[in-house]
Amino acid sequence: MWFYLTEVDYDVSVKDVLYFAPVNGIEENLRDIASVTTTDLDMESIDVRGDITKLPFDDFTFDTIICSHVLEHIPNDLDAMSEMH
């Protein structure tokens, strides 16, 4: 994922990023180049605790969403994808 974010013609340097279930190494590096808000339902040390199907953010708050290895754990993944959209 880090390779994609930094090497595959993707510029996050001026983006507001919402990162679900963040991975420490990626999160730390991403914070160096973007404005990052981390969120999860159960994790410790995140910025905002929230349900992916009912996010506590206004529409169009973020330019980019990173949600990897999360949706397979959500009973109604269609609601989650709709909320992220």
Q: What is the pLDDT of residue 3?
A: 75
Amino acid residing at 78: L
Q: What is the pLDDT of residue 13?
A: 57
Percent of the chain with pLDDT over 90: 65
**E-state strands within the chain:** 16-20, 35-40, 48-49, 64-66
